[in-house]
Chains A and B, each alone.
Chain A
Amino acid sequence: AQKITQTQPGMFVQEKEAVTLDCTYDTSDQSYGLFWYKQPSSGEMIFLIYQGSYDEQNATEGRYSLNFQKARKSANLVISASQLGDSAMYFCAMREGYGNNRLAFGKGNQVVVIP
């Protein structure tokens, strides 16, 4: 069964606008972690933001914030003030349990920022 679901089609975003990328997850664990990674066309995987299942506050890292809705099992990424360099694939990932740092990834969301 798919643990991470990212179903949005490719998105075009105007520069300086905000964009929200959807991610839903499926787990029966109480302890888990949620991550977002960025993959530009060059291919590397760049860590953006992390949310622990017990964290009460939504995580923020600069222009990135994670809208964590535990009851709905969603962990949407919000990118504010989009820049041309934000054009990339964005992957949501989950670590289940504790003592295990393996990540399960979603299929990704393609974002293109237009000037």
Chain B
Amino acid sequence: DSGVTQTPKHLITATGQRVTLRCSPRSGDLSVYWYQQSLDQGLQFLIQYYNGEERAKGNILERFSAQQFPDLHSELNLSSLELGDSALYFCASSVDPGYDGELFFGEGSRLTVL
């Protein structure tokens, strides 16, 4: 158990809909990262937050947004969903962006768009 909690574990929805994925980082970790894993693109970095502030953006679509709340949990919002958004979405956390070690990953939220 990495200590990172993601909900929901599975989500099935239709095209055009909007979903919210939630992540609670490990106790004490201030930095949260979102990754998307799909068959064709592999593991892609989406966005990073540190202590409530956006720190870095990767290949995140404009239809997607995220935030980190004062209690440090984070939410990833996916809107106007398309079939190609079906993927496994991971949240990871670390103590801070300068931490030299590994990221701790949650178990992922598997999104299926029909």
Contact = CB atoms under 8 A, between A and B. Distances in A.
A and B bound?
yes
Classify the interface of chain A: helix, strand, loop or mixed. Answer: loop
B90 A45 contact: yes
Interface of B: 2, 31, 33, 35, 42-43, 45, 48, 56, 58, 88, 90, 92, 94, 96-108, 110
A24 B100 CA distance: 20
Interface residues of A, number: 24
Contacts of A106: 42
A10 B95 CA distance: 35
A101 B105 contact: no
A35 interface: yes
Most buried by B among A33, A103, A106: A103
B105 to A, nearest CB: 4
Given A99-B98, A100-B97, A45 B105 contact: yes
